[in-house]
Amino acid sequence: MLVDIKNLRIAFTSRGKRFEAVRGISLSLGREKLGIVGESGSGKSLTARALMKLLPKTAEVTADTLRYDDVDVLKASERQMRKIRGGRVGFVLQDPKYSLNPVKTIGSQVDEAWREHKRGSAREAREATLDLLDQVMIRDPKKVYASYPHEVSGGMGQRAMIAMALAPNPELLIADEPTSALDATVQAEILRLINDLVEKRGMGLILISHDLPLVSHFCDRVCVMYSGQIMEEMAASDLMNAQHPYTRGLLNCMPSLMHPRDRLPVLTREDSWQEETAR
Amino acid sequence: MLTTFRTWALDDTPTSRRQAAWGRRYRIWLALRRNPLAMIGLAIVIFFGGLAILAPLLAPWDPAAQDLAHRLARPSAAHWLGTDELGRDILSRILYGGRVTLGMVISIVIVVAPVGLVVGCVAGYFGGWIDTVLMRVTDVFLSFPRLILALALVAALHPGVQSAIVAIALTAWPPYARIARAETLTVRSSDFIAACRLAGASPRRVVFRHIMPLCVPSVIVRVTLDMSSIIITAASLGFLGMGAQPPSPEWGAMLAIAKRFMLQEWWVALSPAMAILLVSLAFNFLGDGLRDVLDPKQN
Amino acid sequence: MSDRMIEVEDLRISFSSAEVVKGVSFEVDRGETFGIVGESGSGKSTVLRAMSGLNENWDGRILFNGEAVPKRRSREFFRKVQMVFQDPFGSLHPRQTIDRILSEILLVNRIGDIDRRINKVLADVALPRTSRFRYPHQLSGGQRQRVAIARALIAEPKVLLLDEPTSALDVSVQAEVLNLLADLREEHGLTYVMVSHNLAVISHLCGRVGVMQHGHMVEQVSVEDLRAGNVSHPHTQELRRLSVGLEDLQDA
């Protein structure tokens, strides 16, 4: 069991008002692929960050259980967390434009990620990096190694981010909207790449996205979040049999090339969904 | 009455532009209020401002009245801050001096900020040769060392408050142009400006009605932070005898004369020095607070 | 009065030394909705911006209602052709109330009756009157986009150019906005040109689609043909395949 979360709550206080962004989330993950789907404001990204203790101090994080493998995240020190972050858990974030350091070459950044957790010489790092760049299907690793982030395409930048995330050989990969900033053609390739690498290395994957069909294509299980809670959880293959009206609503309101409709059904948000369901 | 204003301003669904605008201003004020240093700064500024305005009512003595029998007297019940080398009451001179110093600073800022704002916005929006010409002009004025140019100007014209104001203003406006231009460049290509152009707004309208209001917060912050340096420059000019002329009281000039007696009759120098220090510090605190509050990211 | 609302002939646009749009031609009939689909860098948004008058650096001919338009457009042009931008955060002036934002085009053109027009357009886009004097940061993404649509409609244009109007919105909000756009098109007899990278969204609103790749419009097809797979250009096929592939899951 890589991730064990029970009754996670995250609250923020701003200008005297307390706002609960995540209200009692429970989920667990082994060496499998979990998709967390939700619209903006659902709390999906916050959940992943809370797991890595990456939220600002102003956030109140409470849970019955918040464990990464054998580490109790709630009680862990910053030093312990730093060993986990990067080394045992890799991150791929949304826009490579903002996640890659614009003044350093791609090669040097992947090197750094490797050396941070592997402790080798500069030459060993470079060899490992070139190998990683090859693994993420970059056709000319040496050229990309020497390039700066702004000199490569979005898809290439994202591959570099994946290489950085995988350099220390982590057990779990958390990908937060990894393809939202990319074109459709590249999106599919990147997700397939993540899928292959995760399977080949026997890693766990948490894929966070707003795109329900996309996530269900690449994950074993899917959690649907709304307003800080999990509305429904199911096997990806069962998506079409989703029970919860929110999930059904989300699926129904998407336009379709093959099944045109005059009017798209609109998701009417029931107030009852806001109520907390004890899980 | 205050609570009705508060509820009216903080109303979540305003029903007029005035109400919405006041709501915004009030929220900014509330945010500023939470910053203790900024409030201290504001209090000091208001305090000194009040003293300066009410000087004729508050000053116990005529600031030019000499009393050579009681020169360099220690602070006492009659002269709260003592007397200077000609027996003039220091407290009264500080109060009237405040009028001179603060008056100079305000006159400078009132001209300098709008000019810089316009130059910067026009340069930033139109680009091309307009930008080049305006920015080179700005560079020229920016490269003059402020005090030396002020000295030269004042010497060429004639020493006095007006010349000092002109001299300082000429070197103080370039940073505002730079700030306004930088802000304009960031917003120039935004969609909401594109939408204004699509409404058929002329370039003049886009710059004056849509872009300038966005640059105003940065300029306000810069003004408050600049106040301290302008005060010190004005005081320096006075110190060098180039600003307000005797017998007109001016903090810098007072400090210049007092330096002769600094070791024995230290109180003569202390008052003008503290006045300059406190007001500059106050504007700095206020400026920092305003920057935190007017930063659009906070909204 | 021609039936052709919009004609674009051999449009060429270059930025610095690179040619970004390399001779694009298409026509849009009155009341039609024409979609332009392509990936980033294909030049689709550049074409739209040149049509709108925002970009004055183009070669070729652009005709609206049979009249060729000059590079610099007049105020009358902007009353007839308006644009809705992609990013609801960036397309509204952060320091102006909704009321002020909506008034701009009326003020510039000295159109009277501002109050009534604002209230009407707010109702048209289903925004409550209470949002009239709010600032953009007090509204949600979907509401902001409605304001952007209201702003485009308030001067009663004939043509609406839509640049990825729903790409930045949540799926549920997107559905509402797409429905709104369809309703407004009926009510006001508008002609739309819509740019998107999402084939499903384009096929929902549009009758015909132009596919762009690397600055060329490589194919123009009707949405029916696209659906049925009657497409010839490999890029179109690729885009269609990807879109259909995602949907297959929904049917599986």
Q: Are strands A204-209 and A172-176 parallel, antiparallel or unpaired?
A: parallel
Say how many residues make up chain B: 299
The pLDDT of residue A217 = 85
Cβ neighbours around A244 below 10 Å, total: 16
C221 reaches A (C-beta below 8 A): no
The percent of residues in chain B predicted with pLDDT above 90, rounded, is 35
Residue range B210-222: mean pLDDT, rounded: 91
Which ipTM was obtained for this model?
0.90
Q: Does A26 have pLDDT greater than 90?
A: yes
Q: Higher pLDDT residue, C159 or C167?
A: C159
Q: Does C194 have pLDDT greater than 60?
A: yes
pLDDT tens digit sequence for A130-154? 999 998 888 889 999 999 988 888 8
pLDDT tens digit sequence for A28-38? 998 999 999 99
pLDDT tens digit sequence for C85-98? 999 889 999 989 99
Q: Does A97 have pLDDT greater than 80?
A: no
C-alpha dist (Å) from residue B205 to A274, C83, C152, C154: 47, 20, 19, 20
The pLDDT of residue B298 = 42
Residues of chain C with C-beta less than 8 angstroms from the C-beta of B13? 130-131, 133-134
The percent of residues in chain A predicted with pLDDT above 90, rounded, is 35
Three-state SS at C17: coil
Task: Tell me the β-bridge partners of C13.
Answer: C21
Query: Using the beta-carbon criterion (under 8 Å), do B17 and C100 form an inter-chain contact?
Result: yes
Task: Search chain B and give the residue with CA nearest C130.
Answer: B13
What is the DSSP annotation of B91-116?
A: HHHHHHHHHHHHHHHHHHHHHHHHHH
- Which of C75, C90, C108 has its CB closest to that of B191? C90
Report whether B73 contacts B268 (CB < 8 A): no
Q: Does A168 have pLDDT greater than 50?
A: yes
Q: Does A279 have pLDDT greater than 60?
A: no
Residue range C189-202: mean pLDDT, rounded: 93
Residue range A208-228: mean pLDDT, rounded: 89
Q: Does C247 have pLDDT greater than 80?
A: no
Residue range A161-167: mean pLDDT, rounded: 90
DSSP state of A258: S
Residue range B17-36: mean pLDDT, rounded: 88
C216 reaches A (C-beta below 8 A): no
Please state, rounded to an integer, the average pLDDT across all residues of chain C: 91
pLDDT tens digit sequence for C111-124? 989 999 999 999 99
Task: Search chain A and give the residue with CA nearest C202.
Answer: A257
Q: Does C165 have pLDDT greater than 50?
A: yes
pLDDT tens digit sequence for B237-277? 877 877 777 777 888 888 888 888 888 888 888 888 899 89
Three-state SS at B127: coil
The pLDDT of residue C52 = 94
Q: Which of B159, B175, B152, B269 lies closest to B227, judged by CA? A: B175
Task: Search chain C and give the residue with CA nearest B213.
Answer: C95
The percent of residues in chain A predicted with pLDDT above 70, rounded, is 99
The CA distance from A44 to A30, in Å, is 19
The CA distance from C217 to A218, in Å, is 33
Residues of chain A with C-beta less than 8 angstroms from the C-beta of C223? 260
Q: Which of A123, B234, B269, A263 lies closest to C176, judged by CA? A: A263
pTM equals 0.86
pLDDT tens digit sequence for A44-63? 999 998 998 888 888 899 99
The pLDDT of residue B268 = 86
Residue range C167-181: mean pLDDT, rounded: 91
